[in-house]
């Protein structure tokens, strides 16, 4: 609260003069109160909103720049290096300063008794941002950048409606077409000026699957598990498992292990999997005859099941190809390969899209990030153009996807490849 108190003698000559002074000082004091009260709930909310949006923008640009400069490093075969950027927080402070300088009253100059006086009030706001930049640790819990991304992560983006060409080029490291025994590795060589005959043929087959996926004729998901006949199963004596291997002498040196420990030991020694399943097959020549249990089940020792994911024809349900997923770092190197095989004037076209493009000059175009590498400045722009005028630039989609995966990579459980030993 601001107060101006004046004790004046009634009828004095000074009273009229000081009334003017009192009104002037009171106005200055009230002006100071008005400035302070302007920082109310609404003003504070607006400040928080502006600060949060600014810090969000800073965080996004920093993450995008880290990704972009690593793509350029991969292009030039430099070692990639990633850092984690903590959440940025701001500590705003507010200070209010006021001062007044009063000149002599000058009784002979009553109309302007404070002509040489001055008063000022100022409000200063500052915000000190706090954050930390740390390299990715090389311990087991934070190596998500180097591990294959879970195929169900690709499925999540697929079901969310992301562009099929972006997903299939970035996520897929190798593809095994139906009927082929060996996988085809998508490593960037297929975009060279003189690709091998096999690369050229397989590239054409893969682009055909992408086009079918864009039309909705192909879906992505887990492949059906192989039947027991396909797994070369043989009966295993459950009595032997329980009474011999499961006893107190064979497995754990007389300590008495659990049945689960026994099963794991058998699977480790044989490289196969124990399965309890319905089995109505007749015994093969030379195969031991083991009676089923009361539920018509037998204990079988089978080849392990390796989970497979791939593309399926919607109409026929026939598998078209199975895939192996990339790691995040492999995505970066793959994009670097596409830059190496093209130029800024004629970028690499994968199918009918340009996955990543840089510009030496900003010109009139908007840009997503500006980075420096090897003494040069590069501008990476959002996607531009459309399929009607030529290959579509999907750099914006690629950067957006990589930004999300880079954040998820810092939570390893999202990117850890699933255990291949699934019954």
In sequence order, which residues have a C-beta less than 8 Å from that of residue 251 and are 6 or more positions away?
245, 257, 261, 262, 265
pLDDT at 36: 43
The more confidently predicted of residues 366 and 107 is 366
Please give the share of the chain, as a percent, with pLDDT higher than 70: 72
The whole-angstrom separation of Cα 362 and Cα 359 is 7
pLDDT at 48: 79
The whole-angstrom separation of Cα 184 and Cα 290 is 43
pLDDT at 32: 40
pLDDT at 334: 96
The more confidently predicted of residues 385 and 91 is 91
pLDDT confidence band for 421 (50 / 70 / 90): very low
Rg, Å, the chain Cα set: 36
Is the pLDDT score of 214 beyond 90? yes
Range in 97-111, 335-349, 370-384 with the lowest mean pLDDT: 97-111
> Which tokens is 386 given?
């459309």
pLDDT at 58: 86
pLDDT at 282: 64
Residue pLDDT, tens place only, 167-186: 999 999 999 999 999 999 99
Residue pLDDT, tens place only, 348-382: 999 889 999 998 888 877 777 899 999 999 998 77
Is the pLDDT score of 30 beyond 70? no
Is the pLDDT score of 40 beyond 90? no
pLDDT at 85: 77
Q: Which residue has the tokens 């770092």?
A: 329
66 closest CA partner among 56, 88, 81: 81
pLDDT confidence band for 418 (50 / 70 / 90): very low
The more confidently predicted of residues 297 and 387 is 297
Please give the share of the chain, as a percent, with pLDDT higher than 90: 34
The more confidently predicted of residues 290 and 172 is 172
pLDDT confidence band for 414 (50 / 70 / 90): very low
Beta partners for residue 320, in sequence order: none
pLDDT confidence band for 22 (50 / 70 / 90): low
pLDDT at 44: 73
Please check whether residue 117 is in contact with residue 100, taking contact to mean a CB–CB distance below 8 angstroms.
yes
The more confidently predicted of residues 243 and 4 is 243
Is the pLDDT score of 156 beyond 60? yes
Residue pLDDT, tens place only, 250-285: 444 444 556 777 788 888 888 888 888 877 666 666
pLDDT at 168: 96
pLDDT confidence band for 138 (50 / 70 / 90): low
Cα–Cα distance list, 392 to 154, 172, 211, 356, 407 (Å): 22, 20, 14, 11, 26
The more confidently predicted of residues 389 and 336 is 336
Is the pLDDT score of 35 beyond 50? no
pLDDT at 27: 43
Please check whether residue 391 is in contact with residue 385, taking contact to mean a CB–CB distance below 8 angstroms.
yes
Range in 1-10, 37-46, 237-246, 351-360 with the lowest mean pLDDT: 1-10
pLDDT at 7: 44
> Which tokens is 296 given?
């018509």
Q: What value does the mean pLDDT take over residues 315-330?
A: 94
Q: What are phi and psi of 6, to 5 degrees?
A: -130, 125
pLDDT at 106: 55
Which of 59-68, 144-153, 291-300, 364-373 tops mean pLDDT? 59-68
Burial class (CB in 10 A: 0-12, 13-18, 19+), 422: exposed
Look up the pTM and report it.
0.71
Residue pLDDT, tens place only, 49-86: 888 888 888 888 888 999 999 999 999 999 998 888 77
């Amino acid at each position: 609260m601001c107060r101006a108190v004046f004790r004046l003698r009634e009828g004095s000559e000074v009273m009229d003069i000081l009334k003017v002074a009192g009104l002037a000082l009171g106005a200055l004091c009230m002006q100071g109160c008005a400035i302070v009260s302007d920082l109310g709930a609404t003003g504070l909310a607006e400040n928080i909103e502006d600060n949060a949006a600014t810090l969000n923008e800073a965080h996004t640009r920093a993450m995008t720049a880290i990704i972009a400069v690593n793509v350029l490093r991969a292009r030039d075969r430099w070692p990639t290096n990633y850092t984690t950027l903590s959440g940025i927080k701001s500590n705003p402070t507010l200070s209010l300063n006021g001062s007044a300088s009063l000149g002599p009253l000058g009784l002979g100059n009553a109309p302007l008794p404070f002509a040489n006086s001055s008063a000022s009030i100022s409000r200063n706001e500052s915000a000190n941002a706090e954050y930390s930049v740390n390299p990715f640790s090389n311990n087991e819990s934070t190596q998500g950048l180097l591990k294959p991304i879970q195929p169900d992560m690709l499925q999540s983006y697929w079901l969310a409606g992301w562009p099929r060409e972006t997903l299939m080029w970035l996520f897929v490291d190798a593809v095994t077409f139906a009927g082929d025994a060996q996988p085809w590795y998508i490593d960037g060589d297929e975009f060279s000026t003189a690709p091998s005959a096999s690369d050229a043929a397989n590239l054409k087959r893969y682009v055909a699957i992408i086009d079918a996926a864009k039309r909705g004729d192909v879906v992505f998901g887990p492949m059906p598990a192989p039947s027991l006949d396909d797994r070369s199963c043989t009966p295993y004596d459950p009595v032997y498992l329980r009474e011999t291997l499961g006893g107190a002498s064979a497995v754990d040196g007389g300590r008495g292990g659990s049945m689960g420990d026994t099963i794991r030991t058998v699977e480790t020694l044989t490289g196969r999997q124990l399965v309890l399943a319905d089995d109505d097959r007749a015994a093969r020549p030379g195969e031991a005859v083991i009676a089923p249990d009361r539920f018509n089940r037998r204990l079988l020792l089978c080849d392990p099941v390796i989970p497979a994911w791939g593309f399926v024809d919607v109409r026929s349900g026939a598998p078209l190809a199975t895939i192996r997923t990339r790691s995040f770092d492999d995505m970066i190197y793959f994009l670097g390969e596409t830059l190496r095989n093209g130029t800024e004037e004629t970028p690499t076209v994968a199918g009918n899209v340009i996955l990543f493009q840089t510009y030496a000059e900003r010109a009139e175009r908007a840009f997503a990030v500006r980075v420096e590498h090897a003494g040069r400045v590069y501008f990476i722009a959002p996607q531009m153009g459309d399929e009607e005028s030529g290959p579509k630039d999907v750099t914006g989609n690629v950067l957006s996807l990589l930004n999300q995966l880079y954040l998820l990579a810092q939570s390893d459980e999202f990117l850890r490849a699933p255990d291949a030993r699934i019954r």
